[in-house]
Structure 1
């Protein structure tokens, strides 16, 4: 009888120890995922700051540096179909033709999965005030975050517009 009680207590002790170990593993996994996500969120915020900093410096390679490979290819195809500004006659990053010093405020940022994220911005021009409120769809490729689509409040998706433009101008 005494031996049966000892075995039962030992079994309970082992079960509790296993439960504690599983809880520790679960908590550590959750914390690591949270830390990784916050690191990626910082990476995205820095990337967006770099985009608008480069625009302020009148960098002419902003599209090449920050658009996803897929969106760049679509836009290149659209530009190759027409002469002049018939495809897009405004700055896709500001949704305007002119701008002064820009500030991009990140309203929120969240992850769809490890390779895709969404960031909502408020873009403010020092001379004109708020220019736009774009939503950036970001794709993680080649070790960094690239903009795979831009959606404006008053316009549709840049990617969808580009695909339609290509279809209509083949």
Structure 2
């Protein structure tokens, strides 16, 4: 476990809340302290942390890895930062992109030709974790003269039956 300032602050916050709760049960300070000290890790890891994970949109980020891209399609969103912000695919040709990402999952719509264009490759990135999230992350690579000119992200609403 990595001890970060955020972890320490949230652990102190949970300790104070547990202390205040236990203090309403018994006024003996030494007993309240001991019970709070024992209950704080339990409350943190079994109550506070799961609730925090449900309602926050935090997720892990990974460096782009072609093998992980192929093996875990549902976790591709973890590589999105490097793909979008670091522009690792800009100026790569279609063969290079195909060797790293595989075949395009679908072609994007081009209003100029009023059809799906083979120069707009789309890939599913999966769903970011969090409660009430029904938005599927996707990326689109736009090619001009057989080279990637831009990479954009968008979301598709997914309905679950």
What TM-score comes out, normalization by structure 1 length? Answer: 0.33
Name which one, 1 or 2, has greater alpha-carbon Rg: 1
What TM-score comes out, normalization by structure 2 length? Answer: 0.34
